[in-house]
A and B are shown apart, each in its own frame.
Chain A
């Protein structure tokens, strides 16, 4: 997936993955994709809710070796 930017939020606890995502997303243009790597399990539901709340689209997510990856398209 063509991510315009990759955000490393691994090892960070709530609310940092959300705060970092917000800041990273601010640098993207509408339609561009932000890829986020996190280890906070709460990020799974939080980033889904954050995307919905901000009008962004959670395109895909995966979980591999305790690393959660998310792809969010800026709305």
Chain B
């Protein structure tokens, strides 16, 4: 496997739509034999926060889509998180944001790495696909 097979994702928003964008791309990429890392920063940390990610907010005025999600049989965010980890996706929590928000590693799903911007940049430097959500 060449190392041009990487997908580098920055997750910097904390709504439920943001979560689906991030984890659908990440799991699809990992299932297609890509090496995937996601850097969770600022509100993006909500996506891997054990409690917050059970009930992420819909964008204002879009609450009616909740039913659409149910009808389309879309997996829940915690399910997608578990699936992404099972497929080998690396989660990097932003140390600086965690410090600012007073959050410890234990508040997040198991198996995350905690690092700074350079940790992500090292992974992303030779990624063919870089995405920001």
Contact = CB atoms under 8 A, between A and B. Distances in A.
A45 interface: no
Contacts, number: 34
Contacts of A53: 32-33
In which size bucket is the chain B interface? 10 to 19
A12 B31 contact: no
The majority secondary structure among interface residues of chain B is loop
Interface in B55-94: 72-75, 83, 87
Interface SS of chain A: helix, strand, loop or mixed?
Answer: helix
Name which of B28, B73, B87 has the most chain A CB atoms within 10 A of its CB. B28
A16 B73 CA distance: 10
A18 B73 contact: no
Interface residues of A, number: 15
Residue picked from A11, A12, A14, A15, most chain B C-beta under 10 Å: A15
A18 B74 contact: no
A15 B73 contact: no
A46 B74 CA distance: 17
Interface of B: 24, 27-28, 31-33, 72-75, 83, 87
